[in-house]
Structure 1
């Protein structure tokens, strides 16, 4: 079980690296001058590759988490309300991941998106969700 936990943590940390960095690329995309096609395309290529990579990292992170939860019974049974809250955070992370994909599609189509300041705030979402998940898992407050 410790191998599964260790790998779960590694894949979660790697997935979060992508969730932290992709919106930073979006900040830069939102700031590109309309006449700077080469810069826009370079940033768009980086965003596509990063999204693909972080999706590949999310899959084993989720699978290993399910294995720990259902296979080893971590968080099952009475007195494990923290797990329900953590699962809610995981669902929020998946929604955020999907939202990143939708934003990427808008950038690819050169449709209007938000300004760079909005993306700077958008980038704070994974930080707050990571904080919540870690506190729930470590402290098990309920």
Structure 2
């Protein structure tokens, strides 16, 4: 597989992953602010299905990213400071994604203690990471 195919697949799966990671906390906002049992039950199902739907995209994004690094070689990786920062941000995003599993479970068990405002702020984390990753990947400032 050529490097261009690897990059195209990496970016495609990244877009799909981020679509879910952007939408899931919006569901959390609605869930945290709802008192309607039917709405809450519907949101529980949506949250769980969405998280499980986008998780393979996270694995594929990371897998194709690793394949790109492998294709370019160790020396390129060792010299690409921008890439080290990008990988660190991706690791933070993976932790964020994992924490979403905990939040979904908490909502499933009706144990949420946080406000809609918390989840609105929580929703901004992947946005900031995405901006930083794009700037790093395209401008390679370091």
TM-score (norm 1): 0.94
Aligned counterparts of 1:62 and 1:12: Cα–Cα separation in 2: 8
Within 5 A, what are the aligned runs for 1:1-142?
A: 1-33=3-35, 36-73=36-73, 75-78=76-79, 80-142=80-142
The alpha carbon displacement at 1:70 in A equals 1.8
Bigger helix fraction: 2
Aligned residues: 139
2:126 and 2:141 map into 1 onto residues whose CA distance is 21
Q: Which runs of 4+ in 1 moved over 2 A?
A: 71-75
Is the Cα–Cα contact under 8 Å of residues 12 and 58 in structure 1 kept in the other structure?
yes
TM-score (norm 2): 0.94
CA contact (8 A) 1:103 1:113 kept: no
Give me the CA root mean square deviation. 1.2
CA separation in 2, counterparts of 1:94 and 1:53?
A: 15
Separation of aligned partners in 1, 2:58 and 2:46: 18
